[in-house]
Amino acid sequence: MSDITLVVIDDHPLFRQGIVDTLSIEDDFKVIGQSSNGEDGLELIRRAAPKIAIVDVNLPGINGQQVTHEVTVEKLPTRVILLTAYDDIEQQLHAAIAGASAYCTKDIQPEDLCEAIRQVSIGNYVMGGQPMILAEFKKWMERQLESARRSYSEPGSPFHPLSSREMEVLSCIVSGMSNKEIASLLGISHQTVKNHITSILRKFGVEDRTQAVVYALKRGWVKLNQEIITQE
């Protein structure tokens, strides 16, 4: 059996080295790189193509959620395990929508992290310490989204603060499209797409694309895998 190749991306040198040392003693693991920020970490993933990337959520530059989203959009072969100091169900949902295969807290026991890596390496998912096959993971996501909609929806009010074009852009974001792909589909410039996304984030009061998707999903304004309908 070939080694499970890994990279570790975390901005705290001591913590990062601790993960590397922990993984390096496992016979089936091979750490092939490490990085201290999001931009360099993403480039490392592109260049080294590890089977697994262990990525801190709170990175300088682009954060771990954004790194995960880019890995997903670019269809890179690497699967991402996100590490966080703060864990709650909404953050797990953010991670899942961004494309993470696992979401673990930084106080995880070394043996549990190793088990999560092995689960992810064979195509499974780990959320809240629970390993899941793909079908179970999809059902988990459906349950979380439905629960979020019930908690945050605004019954009887169809209002949303976005223009028709912004809703089109948001639908594309939900579908995992890059800015370039959105511009091509909608027949607008790349800069116009960026302007619309900036406006969406400002209106929602969120910091990134993933949070915007969760915000809109909670309120029932968009759905995962919905058809994108563009205006004439």
**Count of residues in the chain:** 232
Say if CB 123 and CB 134 are below 8 A apart: yes
Per-residue pLDDT, 121: 97
CA-angle at 83, arms to 141 and 111, nearest 5°: 100
Q: Record the tokens describing residue 37, joined without a space.
A: 């920020």
Task: Give the fold, CATH level 3, of 154-232.
Answer: Arc Repressor Mutant, subunit A (1.10.10)
Residues 6+ apart with CB under 8 A from 55: 9, 10, 41, 64, 67, 68, 80, 81, 82, 83
Low-confidence ranges of the chain (pLDDT < 70): 1, 148-160, 220, 224-232
SS3 (DSSP) at 139: helix
At 137-153, the pLDDT tens digits run: 999 988 887 776 654 44
Assessment of whether the complete model's pTM goes beyond 0.75:
no
Q: Which residues contact 27 (CB under 8 A, 6 or more apart)?
A: none
Report the chain's mean pLDDT, rounded to a whole number.
87
The boundaries of every CATH 1.10.10.10 domain in the chain are 154-232
pLDDT of residue 149: 60
Fold of domain 4-140: Rossmann fold (3.40.50)
Which residue's entry shows tokens 């954060």?
Answer: 63
In the chain, CATH 3.40.50.2300 sits at 4-140
Q: What distance separates the 2 farthest-apart alpha carbons in the chain?
A: 59
Q: What is the pLDDT of residue 215?
A: 85
* pLDDT in the model for residue 232: 39
Residue 34 tokens, joined: 């490490």
pLDDT at 228: 45
Residue 122: burial class (beta carbons within 10 Å; 0-12, 13-18, 19+): exposed
pLDDT attached to residue 164: 81
